């Protein structure tokens, strides 16, 4: 089966930077997604990486290393509204999308 690992929880201070790591072992690879999910709400899309390197989208950046089976999501200048769960998801060789358990980020004033 697919194996996607990410830390369970992270805490950071408002204005800081937080990096959420995701490692994966899948049968084939067709891209990695990051989603944000606030408590009681549906997940919303943040980023998609299929090639190695860094994708910058202002407040969020996402990095991928296919050879290492590794990605990270970087949240810059943290705001209280960034407190949420961040989900890493991978499309495998059969295009099946598998999600990690999610990382709960708590932003403190």
Partner 1 sequence: KAGVTQTPRYLIKTRGQQVTLSCSPISGHRSVSWYQQTPGQGLQFLFEYFSETQRNKGNFPGRFSGRQFSNSRSEMNVSTLELGDSALYLCASSETTSGEFVFYNEQFFGPGTRLTVL
Q: Can you give the binding site for partner 1, defined by CB under 8 A?
A: 1, 30-31, 33, 41-45, 48, 50, 87, 89, 91, 94-102
Residue 34 CB, shortest distance to partner 1, in Å, is 10
Evaluate whether 71 touches 91 at the Cβ level (below 8 Å): no
* Of residues 48 and 70, the one with the C-beta less far from partner 1: 48
- The nearest distance, CB 16 to partner 1, in angstroms, is 26
Q: What is the nearest approach in angstroms of partner 1 to the Cβ of residue 25?
A: 16
CA dihedral 39, 26, 46, 21 (to 10 degrees): 80
Give SS3 for 4.
strand
Distance CA 3, CA 92 (A): 11
């Amino acid at each position: 089966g697919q194996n996607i690992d990410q830390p369970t929880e992270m805490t950071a201070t408002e204005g800081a930077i937080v990096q959420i790591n995701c490692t994966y072992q899948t049968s084939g690879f067709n891209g990695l997604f990051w989603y944000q999910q606030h408590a009681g709400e549906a997940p919303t899309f943040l980023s998609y990486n299929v090639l190695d390197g860094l994708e910058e989208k202002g407040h969020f950046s996402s990095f991928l290393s296919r050879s290492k089976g590794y990605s990270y999501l970087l949240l810059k200048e943290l705001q209280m509204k960034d407190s949420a769960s961040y989900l890493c998801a991978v499309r495998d060789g059969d295009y099946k999308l598998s999600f990690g358990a999610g990382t709960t980020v708590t932003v403190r004033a």
